[in-house]
């Protein structure tokens, strides 16, 4: 038996996995001391189900605590030590504005103000040669300042330390010996990659949240042990793998955004169960929609992520982190997203959200702005008496009033057309984001399957699929607790990334083998402390470009020991990937490798029990409900089903509504719906010919 815990801003979700059965529980998050609610929730859940703590074999934990500490600026008192002459790298950033035309933008401030940034004389050059030894005479004074100011955490970031960490390490060792109890984060450990702004920022974020996370995790671990849980406690990372407490305490920056990663992992495991090679994971909740590409049953990984965006969801307005993450796009499109009319008399939706309180106008909590949920209610997508399992009775009157007041009065539309327009615009926004994201990865949308989960996704997925020309959609069961369920599917693993610049025509296999061996040892040391006898899944990538370009593409590398002649194969793979992304290769240009990544994970057993059904039998409508149809733009009656009444092997032809406790599946006339053996719904596009 295993437990998954997802601490969110409002709720803490707990999922118990007993064989293949899931039992879930939601408790309020205890913000000040989150471990209290976790422990209480777990104990209640176990007691309710008559389970002993000793029966739990593993606890998997994901949390937004790290992210929230950054956003709310509630981290440790932190200082940063850097190369003399470069005190302001953290604030100077990209020297650019994230919005061209808005003269009043505010940039995201560095977590460490200038007065807490100290400089020291030292310099490493681009080749890793130390051209100015570090001024050890200044160490004493530095330690005194850190003590006097009571800093709890120190970040160290020197120029070109990715090429040679010696100067950083000299200072680190001195500080560790002379500042017991103060956490130290070093840029060549946290993020050994070229580009000082990103490397320093990542280091500072790590330093900023380190005391808090270390403190919390150790306390939680002790509490659990005290309650008789002698199993391992693993942490979900933003890269979609699980890691142990020690590694999480050293590198807490990798825990940022672990929740959405859980959703992507859920979609990955569904892709695996159903044998789907080309998938788009579509997770639409109350505030945002998150889109992830799953290729050959793996979520695409990236190394860049922005936290704390000032202008919500606007690229460039946050703090750039260089950590292994699941590549995803997150946009402000969810059930609570607010619709309004802009200066061009266009209806636009999001990115701002009515949140859970006051929420959409139809919640009757005082919200008077029309949201996606209000539009969905007016159209007839949502049954007002059956929302959130009947816990919230929705008011169609209030929804209508909000739409009339904020939309119809301005652009001369009737309520139903305005509601259709709101729904159409948000669907377009989401499918645009999905299309751009897919294409940026060098893929097409049309040959993929959409896996839709999160409370609002089933309401919108059919139209999104039509826009993306997707022919097949999967709506799983338990869709609304996706993240925590996803945690249970995540492998234990770790990824190491290091910069080592090398032109391919002077490829030195030995140097790379040495580097990769070190990286593998590092990864193995971190994950093997969890389990004894395991088999590993290893993946290696080189980040390459034509010498002279600025952006690298990710190229898979063999796991074997490299020989010098491997350069030929690496070149061919690079060109293949490049051509896929940008249509043409450049025959005359040199190719270089900038950075290497190695990820190691523990192979998991596939206990896939999914069976393909041979035949499906059409079932007839038993009930009709009112619905405003987009294509016909008028109110019609369409068939209505309760999901709980459907059985594996059932087939529903064409347009219908399938209602369930947490959400509603809206099927357009272009799809037939099948109920699969595991009770998942599969919507298939009906070909005209």
Partner 1 sequence: MMIKDNLTEEKKNIQNQVMWNRLLSVVEEQGQTLVRTAFSPIVRECGDISAGVFDLEGRMMAQAVTGTPGHVNSMAESVKHFIDHFPLNSMNEGDIFITNDPWMGTGHLNDFVITTPCFKDNKIVGLFSCTSHLTDIGGLGVGPDATDIHMEGLYIPMLKLADKGVMDQTLLKLISQNTRQPVETEGDVYSLAACNDIGCKRLVEMMEEFQISNLKDLSDFIYNKSLQAVENEIKKIPNGVYHNFMMIDGFEKDIRLEAKLVVKDKSISVDFTGTSDKSKFGINVPLSYTKAYTCFGLSCLVSAEIPNNAGSLYPFQIDAPKGSILNAPYPAAVCARHIIGQMLPDVVFGCLEKALPDKVPAEGASCLWNITFRGKTDRGANNNSLFAVTAVVNGGTGARPSKDGLSATAYPSGVRGTPVEINEAVAPLLFLRKEYSPGSGGKGKYNGGLGQAIEIKSAIDEDMDLLASFDRIKYPARGRLQGEDGKAGSVSIKNQGQLKGKGTQVIKAGEILEIYTPGGAGIGKYSERDQELINRDDENELL
Secondary structure letter of residue 252 according to DSSP: G
> Rounded to the nearest whole angstrom, what is the least distance from the CB of residue 203 to partner 1 in the complex?
14
Smallest CA-to-CA distance from 21 within 63, 61, 51 is with 51
- Of 589, 603, 613, 624, which lies in the binding site for partner 1, with binding defined by CB under 8 A? 589
* Cβ atoms of 674 and 681 closer than 8 Å: yes
Q: Are strands 58-63 and 232-236 parallel, antiparallel or unpaired?
A: parallel
C-alpha closest to that of 332 among 256, 255, 433: 433
Q: Phi/psi of residue 155, each to 5°?
A: -105, 140
Segment interacting with partner 1 (CB under 8 A) among 303-311, 361-369, 532-540, 589-597: 589-597
**Rg for the chain (alpha carbons), in Å?**
26
CA 264, 270, 275, 281 torsion-angle sign: negative
**Scanning residues 321 to 380, which ones bind partner 1 (CB under 8 A)?**
342-347
Q: Do residues 192 and 497 touch, judged by C-beta distance below 8 A?
A: yes
Which C-beta is closer to partner 1: that of 43 or that of 436? 436
Q: Return contacts of 45-51, CB within 8 angstroms, 24+ apart.
A: 45/14, 45/16, 46/16, 49/16, 49/18, 49/23, 51/1, 51/16, 51/18
Distance, in Å, from the CA atom of 475 to the CA atom of 461, rounded to the nearest integer, reads 9
Q: How far is the CB of 31 from partner 1 (least distance, A)?
A: 29
- Minimum Å gap between C-beta 607 and partner 1 is 41
Between 347 and 646, whose beta carbon lies closer to partner 1? 347
Rounded Cα distance between 422 and 617, Å, is 36
Answer whether the bond into residue 358 is a cis peptide, omega within 30°.
yes
Long-range contacts of 171-180 (CB under 8 A, 24+ apart): 171/81, 171/120, 171/134, 171/139, 174/136, 174/139, 174/143, 175/142, 175/143, 175/146, 178/139, 178/143, 179/143, 179/146, 179/147, 179/154
From 39, 76, 249, 413, residue interacting with partner 1 (rule: CB under 8 A): 413
Closest approach of partner 1 to the CB of residue 592, in Å: 7
Q: How far is the CB of 584 from partner 1 (least distance, A)?
A: 5
- Applying CB under 8 A, among 138, 194, 534, 619 the residue interacting with partner 1 is 194
Contact 204, 28 (CB under 8 A): no
What binding mask, one character per residue, do residues 599-618 give for partner 1 by CB under 8 A, x or -? --------------------
CB of 597 to partner 1, least distance (A): 19
Give the footprint of partner 1 on residues 129-148 (CB under 8 A). 131
Residue 440 interacting with partner 1 (CB under 8 A)? yes
Report, in Å, the least distance between residue 204 CB and partner 1: 16
410 touches partner 1 (CB under 8 A):
no
The span from the first CA to the last CA of the chain, in angstroms, equals 50
- Smaller CB separation from partner 1, 146 or 408: 408
Scanning residues 23 to 62, which ones bind partner 1 (CB under 8 A)? none
Pick out residues in 98-117 that bind partner 1 (CB under 8 A): 100-107, 113-115
* Interface region with partner 1, contact rule CB under 8 A, candidates 3-11, 137-145, 271-279, 632-640: 632-640
Angle between helices 196-226 and 34-48 (to 10 degrees): 50
Exactly one of 272, 592, 650, 660 binds partner 1 (CB under 8 A); that residue is 592
Nearer to partner 1 by C-beta: 40 or 626? 626
Q: In whole angstroms, how close is the CB of 642 to partner 1 at the nearest point?
A: 28
Residues 225-254 interacting with partner 1 (rule: CB under 8 A): none
CB of 136 to partner 1, least distance (A): 20
| 13, 416, 650, 660: residue in contact with partner 1 (rule CB under 8 A) | 416
Tokens describing residue 393: 């009775």
Which ranges of 349-414 would DSSP assign to H, the alpha helix?
372-379, 396-403, 409-411
Site string for partner 1, 499-538 (x = CB under 8 A): --x-x-----------------------------------
Q: Does 197 bind partner 1 (CB under 8 A)?
A: yes
**Smallest distance from partner 1 to CB 11, Å:** 34
Examine residue 549 and tell whether it contacts partner 1 (CB under 8 A).
Answer: yes
Residue 1 and residue 56 in contact, taking contact as beta carbons nearer than 8 Å: yes
DSSP state, residue 687 = P
Using the rule CB under 8 A, which residue among 166, 352, 401, 424 binds partner 1? 424
Distance CA 563, CA 613 (A): 48
Q: Please identify, among the stretches 17-25, 86-94, 172-180, 520-528, the one whose residues bind partner 1 according to the rule CB under 8 A.
A: 86-94
Least distance to partner 1, CB of residue 75, Å: 19
397 binds partner 1 (CB under 8 A): no
Residues touching partner 1: how many (CB under 8 A)?
Answer: 75
Site for partner 1 in 454-473 (CB under 8 A): 467, 469
CA distance 309 to 546: 31
Which ranges in 13-119 belong to alpha helices (H)? 34-48, 65-71, 89-92
């Amino acid at each position: 038996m295993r437990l998954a815990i997802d601490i969110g801003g409002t709720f803490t979700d707990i999922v118990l996995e007993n064989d293949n059965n899931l039992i879930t529980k939601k408790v309020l998050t205890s913000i000040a001391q989150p471990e209290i609610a976790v422990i209480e929730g777990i104990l209640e859940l176990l007691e309710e189900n008559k389970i002993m703590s000793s029966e739990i074999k593993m606890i998997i934990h994901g949390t937004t605590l790290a992210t929230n500490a950054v956003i709310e600026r509630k981290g440790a008192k932190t200082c940063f030590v850097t190369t003399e002459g470069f005190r302001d790298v953290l604030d100077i950033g990209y020297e650019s504005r994230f919005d061209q035309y808005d003269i009043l933008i505010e940039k995201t401030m560095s977590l460490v103000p200038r007065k807490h940034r100290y400089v020291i004389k030292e310099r490493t050059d681009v080749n890793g040669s130390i051209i100015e030894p570090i001024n050890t005479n200044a160490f004493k004074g530095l330690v005194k300042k850190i003590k006097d100011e009571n800093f709890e955490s120190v970040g160290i970031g020197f120029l070109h330390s990715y090429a040679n960490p010696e100067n950083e390490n000299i200072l680190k060792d001195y500080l560790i010996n002379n500042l017991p109890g103060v956490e130290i984060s070093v840029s060549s450990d946290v993020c050994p990659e070229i580009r000082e702004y990103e490397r320093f920022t990542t280091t500072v974020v790590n330093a900023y949240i380190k005391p808090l996370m270390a403190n919390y995790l150790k306390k939680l671990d002790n509490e659990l042990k005290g309650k008789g849980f002698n199993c391992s406690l693993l942490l979900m990372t933003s890269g979609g793998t699980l890691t142990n407490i020690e590694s999480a305490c050293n590198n807490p920056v990798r825990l940022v955004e672990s929740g959405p990663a859980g959703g992507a992992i859920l979609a990955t495991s569904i892709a695996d169960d159903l044998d789907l090679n080309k998938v788009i994971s579509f997770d639409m909740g109350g505030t945002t929609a998150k889109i992830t590409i799953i290729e050959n049953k793996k979520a695409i990984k990236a190394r860049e992520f922005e936290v704390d965006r000032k202008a919500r969801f606007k690229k460039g307005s946050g703090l750039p982190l260089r950590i292994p993450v699941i590549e995803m796009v997150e946009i402000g499109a969810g059930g609570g997203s607010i619709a309004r009319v802009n200066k061009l008399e266009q209806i636009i939706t999001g990115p701002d959200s009515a949140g859970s309180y006051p929420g959409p106008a139809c919640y009757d909590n005082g919200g008077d702005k029309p949201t996606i949920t209000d539009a969905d209610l007016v159209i007839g997508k949502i049954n007002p008496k059956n929302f959130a399992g009947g816990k919230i009775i929705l008011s169609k009157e209030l929804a209508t009033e909000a739409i009339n007041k904020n939309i119809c009065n301005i652009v001369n539309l009737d309520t139903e057309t305005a509601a259709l327009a709101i729904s159409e615009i948000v669907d377009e926004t989401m499918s645009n984001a999905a299309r751009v994201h897919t294409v940026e990865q060098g893929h097409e949308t049309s040959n993929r399957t959409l896996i839709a989960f999160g409370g609002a996704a089933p309401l919108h997925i059919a139209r999104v699929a039509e826009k993306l020309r997707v022919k097949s959609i999967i709506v799983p069961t338990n869709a609304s607790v996706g993240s925590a369920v996803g945690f249970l599917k995540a492998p234990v693993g770790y990824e190491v990334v290091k910069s080592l610049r090398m032109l391919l025509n002077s490829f030195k296999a030995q140097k790379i083998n040495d580097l990769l061996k070190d990286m593998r040892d590092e990864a193995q040391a971190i994950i093997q402390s969890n389990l004894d006898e395991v088999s590993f899944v290893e993946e290696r990538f080189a980040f390459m470009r034509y010498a002279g370009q600025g952006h690298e593409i990710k190229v898979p590398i063999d796991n074997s020991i490299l020989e010098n002649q491997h350069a030929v194969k690496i070149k061919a793979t690079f060109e293949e990937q490049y051509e896929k992304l940008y249509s043409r290769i450049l025959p005359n240009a040199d190719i270089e490798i900038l950075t290497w990544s190695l990820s190691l994970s523990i192979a998991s057993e596939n206990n896939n029990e999914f069976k393909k059904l041979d035949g499906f039998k059409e079932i007839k409508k038993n009930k009709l409900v009112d619905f405003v149809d987009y294509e016909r733009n008028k109110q019609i009656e369409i068939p209505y089903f309760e999901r709980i009444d459907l059985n594996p092997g059932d087939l529903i032809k064409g347009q219908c509504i399938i209602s369930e406790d947490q959400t509603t599946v809206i099927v357009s006339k272009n799809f037939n719906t099948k109920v699969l053996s595991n009770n998942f719904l599969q919507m298939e596009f009906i070909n005209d010919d």
